[in-house]
A and B are shown apart, each in its own frame.
Chain A
Amino acid sequence: MEALKNVKPTIDELRLLIGAVDGTFSREVLAFSLLAHGFTKGSVIEIVGSGKTEFLTQFLAENKNLRVAWIEPEITIYPFAFLQRDVDLSRILFVEAENDNTWVTLQILQAQIFQVVALSYLSFDERALRKIQLAAEKSQAIVVLLNKEKMKSWVPSLQVRVERPTKNDLRIETLRKRG
């Protein structure tokens, strides 16, 4: 029993090893007025609901230095709406990915020039999502999945539902927060 104890460290010991206790392992967080804990760099975030794009746009308007890649299977986003919400269009690259969404996303993350990668209505399998998560960690980019309904995947570290009950209000509910 004593020998087994030596081989198998406790959870606290493991946390200490990865620096989770003293905070050395903690990642940089970008502040966001609508979300107390902000968005963590190098993480995969999922936003669902009827106010998801508005919510992300608000984040981009507050963080003006971020370069954004906006990937959709078919472009439905209205660039003029970004301008109205104080987001400069010159820092957004729009990509219509069709069937090559995993390849396109990985290429963009590997280029390491975008701090935010928005994947709007794109479907990925678990394996592809894991690849994207690793690439996001490496490039320290925030990958935001904009979906109609919540995915059944363990990859997103933060899942938020944003609804719009009135003209100007957003109702935000954190469904999952890990780390």
Chain B
Amino acid sequence: MRVVCILFRTPTPLQEIGEILFRLSPQIAIRDKEAIFMEIEQCKKLYSEQSILLRLTSLIRRLKLDATVLVSDDPPSALALSRFRNREKSDLPVSTLEDFACPFKYDELVIKDCEKVIWALDRLGIKTLGDFLKIPSQTLASRFGQLGGLLYRRLQDAKNLPWPKFIPLEKVVERMDWGHELSCDTIDSIFFYIKTLLDRVLLRLFGRGERLLTFQIKFEFEKHSLLKTLERKWRFELNLPHGSTKNILPIVRERICFDLNQKPLEALVNAMELRVIETAPSCLAQRDLFHPKREEEQEAWNNLVTRLTQKLGKEKIFCAKPIESYLPERNWTYHMTEKVLATPKPSIPFPQRPMRLFKKPVQIQFTGESITIGPQLSKVIQYWGPEVLSGESWEKPFERIYYRVLADTLEHFWIFQEEGVFYAHGVFD
């Protein structure tokens, strides 16, 4: 067994960090307010000890945390060794027996008993764990009670300790409070914090194997201002799931800047919250080593679609797919997916359809050999047809007789007759 212990020197939200580390190993345990353990032996085929240490160091730097990382054979040894760096296990002071007594949770009763054992060892002149291990094991129970024997066994081998289960939080929320003195009033300082929040949220989601789809950003203003509402919220609905700050931040910036230009901040911002509302599963498979460009293209596609959607609206950007309907205007639908799936070619050999279809059929007039479509008067040179389309008797029955008409302007119109009235439906452009 190989265990990584990350020991934090400052108060840190360990649950959130644990969620970020979830992508590296599924076996994670948290020691209250102090440390995170991670089993890496089972993942040795995915990454080496050296590479995981580098990853963790870079993550700690990225999240601006104050912590030390150390690898050892079991959780209590890793914890004790990270408290006293550059020492051998046998040189550690006997005070570290507390870590062996309860490595995962600070238990006051056990610690009190352990302190008695440490006091007795001190009286006997035993200063290090190496000295403690030299005591004959048969005498331990009579000298230090049941706990003495337990500590002795854990010092020799703590690999079989049961690990507490790590459960990621149901809701992903990141928050920052600055208090009155450090309040933000400029857009730049606000975006600096939004980037940090977004970074953390995306790392947590990545650890859970998810990507961001919908989220909300909330600004909380100072409490003693005269404002009626002390908060301002923005909801972002991304068309496709995203996993990179680089793609989301420009969208957030554009929208918030636009809104703040319309209605500036009326008070100092004291706190900020980013709440994830909807996520989509992320692909946790290994990278496609043979087609590395595909992933880049997918990211670029998602980014482009999201940017266009934010500016134009959800209905204005779409891919199309055919659906079953007898009405020509209803035989396709909007859809938007990440994966490009080939659409099947229609199996029935229809007569050719026009390239352009009017949003609504336009009523037309026939005067002798002339045809009037809107303000345009043209002479009919030739026509082809008829083609009768009918159906949907269960909902709104229809029967249309279609013709293709060639006008003297060389335009080909697709017209139909329904209940004695002629309509132009499209153009063979």
Please give the residue numbers on chain A whose beta carbons come within 8 Å of chain B beta carbons, in ascending order. Answer: 49-54, 57, 74, 76-81, 83-84, 86, 88-98, 100, 103-104, 107-108, 111-113, 163-167
Contacts and interface: CB of A to CB of B under 8 A. Distances in A.
Given A81-B352, A89-B322, 15 more contacts: A79-B320, A80-B331, A84-B353, A86-B345, A89-B319, A89-B343, A95-B316, A95-B317, A97-B316, A100-B311, A108-B308, A113-B297, A164-B412, A167-B406, A167-B412
B353 A81 contact: yes
A163 B426 CA distance: 17
Contact of B410 (A54, A91, A164): A164
B304 A97 contact: no
Nearest to B414: A78
Nearest to B313: A96
B290 interface: no
B187 to A, nearest CB: 22
Main secondary structure of the interface of B (DSSP, over half): mixed
- Residue of B320, B322, B332, B404 most packed against chain A (CB within 10 A): B320
Interface stretch (B51-59, B128-136, B158-166, B355-363): B355-363
B110 interface: no
Contacts of B342: 88, 90
Interface in B395-422: 404, 406, 409-412
Nearest to B307: A107
A78 B409 contact: no
18 contacts: A49-B410, A50-B428, A81-B353, A83-B345, A83-B346, A86-B345, A90-B321, A90-B340, A92-B320, A94-B317, A95-B308, A98-B316, A103-B311, A104-B311, A108-B308, A111-B303, A111-B304, A167-B412
Nearest to A57: B355
Nearest to B426: A78
Interface in B350-375: 350, 352-359
Contacts of B319: 89-90, 92-94
A113 B304 contact: yes
Contacts of B346: 80, 83-84
Contacts of B404: 167
Contacts of B353: 78, 80-81, 84
A88 B346 CA distance: 11
B85 to A, nearest CB: 49
A77 to B, nearest CB: 6
Interface in B236-286: none
Contacts of B406: 166-167
Contacts of B358: 76
Contacts of B303: 111
A98 B341 CA distance: 28
B188 interface: no
A167 B354 contact: no
A164 B428 contact: yes
Contacts of B332: 78-80, 89
Closest 4 CB pairs of A and B: A79-B320, A53-B429, A53-B355, A78-B357
B318 interface: yes
Contacts of A52: 429
A150 B114 CA distance: 91
A57 B410 CA distance: 19
Given A50-B409, A86-B345, A94 B355 contact: no
